[in-house]
Each structure stands twice: as structure tokens, then as C-alpha cells.
Amino acid sequence: MASAAETSAGPQGQAEKPVVIVTVGMAGSGKTTFMQRLNAHLFQNQEPRYVVNLDPAVAKLPFQCNLDIRDSVNYKKVMEEHRLGPNGAIMTSLNLFTTKVDQVLNILEKRAVPDPENPSRKPVKTILVDTPGQIEVFVWSASGTILLDSLASSFPTVIAYIVDTTRACSTSTFMSNMLYACSILYKTKLPMVVVFNKTDIQDAGFAKEWMTDYEAFREALDGDENKNAFGGQDGGSGYMASLLNSMSLMLEEFYSHLKMVSVSSVKGTGIDDFLEAVREKVDEFNAVYQPELDRRRAEREEIKKKQREKELEKMMRDMSMGGLTAGAPEENKSDEEEQDEPAPADDDSDDDEDDENDREGLQARYAASLLGKDSVTEEASFAKYLHSQRNASQ
């Protein structure tokens, strides 16, 4: 079976890039167990992979990490020093780690290509990223956005949203998970695979049926309403059923673009189906998401260029005004002295042209120096650009 990275090969025989799989999910959905099973599956197939842990609060991981946030940030000390709660400490730890995102990308980019000093070490094909169980801390924070944008700017990136199948049996919890998946998809603007985990306990066939057949979901909704599963009184359950019914109609188009797989992290079933879905999403990333990322990057570069040109124009105007200010004492001359002065010679026009040429030449030299900086910036990674912008703002 072909690896997920084979579909991310660049045009004209360029070296293929590894695929980044970012796992997100609510606490208790089995996200860490899924990471362990996926890592073991890739190891068994002898596929080079690189594991990154972004959860600073985890006490012990059942798999080895190549890059661990806990090696850079001490979660407990952050909580004590800044007098923060658990979620605030996780967010602050991610913020601190994000300041090193350029170093992280440099490490990943080096592992994605052959090592001349160690030819026996194969380039990684898959990069696995584990995130905190507090999903909102990562997805909706500025640090999480920077990390995802930085990864997506360098490698094909796919979001794996893990769902606890045993808790999604009711229509209300199922709809809650789908709304969360929808919000994550449009927040990250990255391709997503919804993974219904723990299928060894509860089969996920009902979820696939609800996503593809509206009438089936409607029947299940009527069943929950008849059982008073929503716990409402005086028409409250009717309001909940009507709300869920409306949201299901709204998400019908969303389901058509969503890839869903069933996985048992304990038994290992469904992992091949997940990797197949990842390959499809890599093709989607290259065809749809990558052009959008390039367009957004080009817009940022255009805005940056206009800002530099505006600053250059302002600087040249200030220099011109500075030259006029230097000659300001001439304005203090009396009218009689001005009348006694001879008329300017015709050669002054030539002097004005020389001054104009000097000004244009000076402006050209400043513009050339700025262009030189732009060329260096273009060669650098997007993460370095973000890092420089952050330092400038500080």
C-alpha cells in the first residue's frame, strides 16, 4: 500500500513532502490511544515518522516523542509563577512554545530530506502531532493558529478530529460533535477526517447513516423525543428536537465534503481506512487548500510591500522637508534685501534637475536595499516571517 506522503510529491520530480496529521478531539475521546496505535502501525510498516507532542500537561505518554513541548516548557512552573489555572497554564505554555516555531520547522524540514552525514537514516514520510485534550485551548488560541499555519505553509496538513462513538449515540451529542467539527474545519481552513473511535465498544454505522440519510436521523430524533431524552418540559423537548432538526438540514452540505472513518484504537481496526482517507485529503490539500494558502501569503507580502513603500515615501518626504528647514533663515531676510538681490541665473534650473536626480538616486538606493531584504524574506520560511513580525511588535 502506498504511503500517505506519496501523493504530496511536488511537480517535475521534486522531493515529496511528509504529511502532517494533527489530531484534535475532546477530552476522553481516545486521542492519545489513537496516536499510539497510529504510531505503532507506521512502525510496523517500517514507514519513517516523526512524533510531536504539544500537550504540556500530560503526565505520561504511551509512545515516544521526537519533539516534546515538555522539554521546553514546564507546565507546573508556568501555573505557579503566573498564578494560572489548568487551561490558562496550557495556553501560556503553548504561547511560549510558539516563540520557537521557526526552530521547530527547521528541525522538521531537515528530517524531511536525506541526511548526507547519515545516509542510512530515511527521510520521514509522516509527522504526527498530538494536541492538548482541551480542544478550545489549541484550536481557538493565537498560538494554535500560528502553529497550524506554519505547518501548513511547509507541509501538506490534515486535521484528524477524534470522536468518542460511545458518547455520540444520542442525536444531541452527535450533533454537538458535528458542529464542533464544522467550526474547526472553517477555523483552520484545512482538510479534515472525522474519526469515530472506540468502535470495539460501539459500532459507528449509525453515524455514517445519519450523515448520509437525513430521514434516518429524523427517525432517531423522533425516537429520542418520544423517550424524553432531552429532559424538557412544557414543550422544551420539542424546541430541542426542532433545533437539532434544523441544524441537521444546515449541515447536510457540510457532510458531503466530510470524510468519516471508523477506528478502534485498542484493536487497531480501521487504521488503513484512516490512512487512505488521509491520502485523499492530501490530494485535496494540494488542489484546493494550497492555492488558497499561496493566495493569502501573496496578499500578506503585498500588504507588507505597500507598507514599506509608504514608509520609504514618508522618509524621503521628511528628508526633503529637512533640507528646506535647513534653509529656513533665508526667509528672515527683509523685503528690501530681497529686492536688492539679483535675479536667479538660468543655471538654477540645471541645479534643480541635479537635486531631483540626486533625490531620485537616493530613493532608488533605499528601494534597492529594501528589495534586497524582501528577497531574503521570500527565501525564508513563513514561520520566520511570523517570528520577525512578533519581535517587531514587541
CA dihedral 247, 252, 255, 256 (to 10 degrees): -170
The contacts of residue 124 (CB under 8 Å, 6+ apart) are 18, 48, 49, 50, 111, 112
Does residue 47 contact residue 125 with C-beta atoms inside 8 Å? Answer: yes
* pLDDT given at position 13: 38
- Tell me what percent of the residues of the chain surpass a pLDDT of 70: 75
* pLDDT given at position 45: 92
Q: What is the spatial distance between Cα 29 and Cα 196, in angstroms, rounded to a whole number?
A: 9
Say how many C-beta atoms besides its own lie within 10 A of residue 51's C-beta: 22
* pLDDT given at position 194: 95
Does residue 112 contact residue 17 with C-beta atoms inside 8 Å? Answer: yes
Q: What is the DSSP track for 372-393?
A: HHHHHHHHS-HHHHHHHHHHHH
* pLDDT given at position 12: 39
The answer on pLDDT for 212 being more than 50 is: yes
Q: What is the spatial distance between Cα 243 and Cα 245, in angstroms, rounded to a whole number?
A: 5
**Mean pLDDT across the chain, nearest whole number?**
79
Higher-confidence residue of 195 and 121: namely 195
Q: What is the spatial distance between Cα 330 and Cα 333, in angstroms, rounded to a whole number?
A: 6
pTM: 0.72
Q: What is the spatial distance between Cα 247 and Cα 170, in angstroms, rounded to a whole number?
A: 15
Q: What is the mean pLDDT of the segment spanning 281-310?
A: 83
Higher-confidence residue of 95 and 367: namely 95
The answer on pLDDT for 371 being more than 70 is: no
Q: Which range, 97-101, 211-215, 332-336, 353-357, has the best average confidence (pLDDT)?
A: 97-101
At residue 340's C-alpha, the angle toward residues 334 and 343, to 5°, is 110
Alpha carbon distances (Å) from 231 to 156, 166, 172, 228: 44, 20, 12, 5
* pLDDT given at position 151: 92
Q: How confident is the model at residue 21 (pLDDT cuts 50, 70, 90)?
A: very high
Least confident piece of the model among 196-210, 232-246, 380-394: 380-394
* pLDDT given at position 333: 47
Q: How confident is the model at residue 372 (pLDDT cuts 50, 70, 90)?
A: very low
67-96 residue pLDDT tens: 999 999 999 999 999 898 988 999 999 999
* pLDDT given at position 341: 52
Q: Return the C-alpha cell found at 265.
A: 484504537
Q: Which residues is 161 bridged to in the sheet?
A: 24, 194
159-204 residue pLDDT tens: 999 999 998 988 888 998 998 998 998 888 899 999 999 999 999 9
* pLDDT given at position 373: 43
Distance of CA 354 to the CA centre of its chain: 52
Q: What is the mean pLDDT of the segment spanning 260-277?
A: 94
Alpha carbon distances (Å) from 62 to 35, 65, 200, 256, 370: 9, 10, 20, 35, 50
Task: Return the H-helix or E-strand segment holding 62.
Answer: none
Q: What is the spatial distance between Cα 67 and Cα 58, in angstroms, rounded to a whole number?
A: 14
* pLDDT given at position 243: 82
Does residue 162 contact residue 29 with C-beta atoms inside 8 Å? Answer: yes
* pLDDT given at position 67: 93
The answer on pLDDT for 29 being more than 80 is: yes
* pLDDT given at position 389: 55
Q: What is the spatial distance between Cα 390 and Cα 105, in angstroms, rounded to a whole number?
A: 17
The answer on pLDDT for 233 being more than 50 is: yes
